[in-house]
């Protein structure tokens, strides 16, 4: 499988498949494709895995697209202005990504639910108690909100993030919650009560425009009914 990412801030990944190669995606993610791409809707590993994906923000069902009778082409567009980032998944190279971040992947990549071990990280960390885990082998495409900044944290090195900015991290990283110091800072600082603390070793990807922040910014300008 070969791919190209186009579109700037409104990105799309265009995948070129050899005959017989397969791609998986969540419901509604396909944007356009060649006529010889055959679609099959399935649970992607059984009811248990399907239920786990639903809790991680995706559909219970996956679509598998196969290039039939020759080379095929299929495109997956991002659902929000931002970035599409490819990850090479393999043993020891699993990824933890934000809820609903998965866009598409080779069929040898497995999408599953990832539970935060600490309840505080789940309920207050901005990414929810449930995130997504990408494992197996192959290339996976993840959509992020806005631009993406990457950091490589050494063992023992940490970074404090505002709620919702953590887009992805290598599975070797740890995530927990850190309270904002001081009651005055909590009530008047405008940053909320909690921040997300991510610790290495491993890489983290930070998004610059979380969709929840965008929704909050435009909410005052949306007319309400009488």
Residue 42 located in a structural domain = yes
Query: What SS3 state is found at 128?
Result: coil
Residue with tokens 């649970």: 43
Query: What SS3 state is found at 39?
Result: strand
Residue 225 located in a structural domain = no
Domain extent at residue 210: 2-220
Residue 82 located in a structural domain = yes
Residue 14 located in a structural domain = yes
Residue 13 located in a structural domain = yes
Q: What is the pLDDT of residue 219?
A: 76
Distance between alpha carbon 136 and the CA centroid of its chain, in Å?
Answer: 16
C-beta of residue 24 within 8 angstroms of C-beta of residue 104: yes
Quote the pTM value.
Answer: 0.82
Q: Between the ranges 24-28, 182-186, 222-226, where is the mean pLDDT highest?
A: 24-28
- Digit-coded pLDDT (tens) for 153-195: 999 999 998 878 999 999 999 988 776 654 444 444 445 557 7
Residue 226 located in a structural domain = no
Residue with tokens 């009811």: 47
- Digit-coded pLDDT (tens) for 55-74: 444 566 789 999 999 999 99
Distance between alpha carbon 166 and the CA centroid of its chain, in Å?
Answer: 10
Residue 183 located in a structural domain = yes
Q: What is the pLDDT of residue 180?
A: 61
C-beta of residue 140 within 8 angstroms of C-beta of residue 106: yes
**Which CATH number fits the domain that encloses residue 153?**
3.60.160.10
Q: How far is the C-alpha of 93 from the C-alpha of 108, rounded, in Å?
A: 14
Nearest to 160 by CA among 198, 126, 193, 125: 198
Residue 59 located in a structural domain = yes
Query: What SS3 state is found at 121?
Result: helix
Query: What SS3 state is found at 125?
Result: coil
């Amino acid at each position: 499988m070969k791919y190209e990412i186009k579109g700037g801030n409104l990105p799309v990944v265009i995948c070129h498949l050899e005959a017989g190669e397969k791609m998986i995606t969540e419901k509604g993610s396909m944007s356009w494709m060649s006529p010889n791409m055959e679609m099959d809707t399935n649970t992607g590993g059984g009811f248990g895995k399907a239920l786990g994906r639903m809790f991680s923000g995706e559909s219970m069902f996956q679509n598998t697209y196969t290039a039939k009778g020759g080379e095929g082409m299929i495109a997956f567009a991002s659902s929000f202005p931002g970035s599409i980032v490819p990850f090479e998944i393999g043993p020891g190279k699993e990824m933890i990504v934000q809820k609903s971040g998965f866009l598409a992947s080779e069929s040898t990549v497995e999408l599953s639910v990832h539970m935060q071990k600490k309840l505080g990280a789940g309920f207050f960390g901005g990414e929810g108690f449930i995130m997504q885990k990408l494992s197996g082998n192959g290339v996976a495409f993840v959509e992020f909100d806005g631009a993406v900044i990457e950091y490589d944290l050494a063992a023992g090195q940490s970074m404090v993030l505002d709620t919702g900015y953590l887009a992805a991290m290598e599975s070797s990283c740890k995530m927990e919650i850190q309270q904002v110091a001081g009651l005055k800072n909590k009530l008047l600082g405008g940053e909320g009560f909690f921040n997300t603390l991510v610790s290495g070793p491993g890489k983290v990807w930070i998004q610059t425009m979380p969709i929840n922040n965008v929704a909050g910014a435009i909410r005052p300008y949306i007319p309400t009914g009488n």
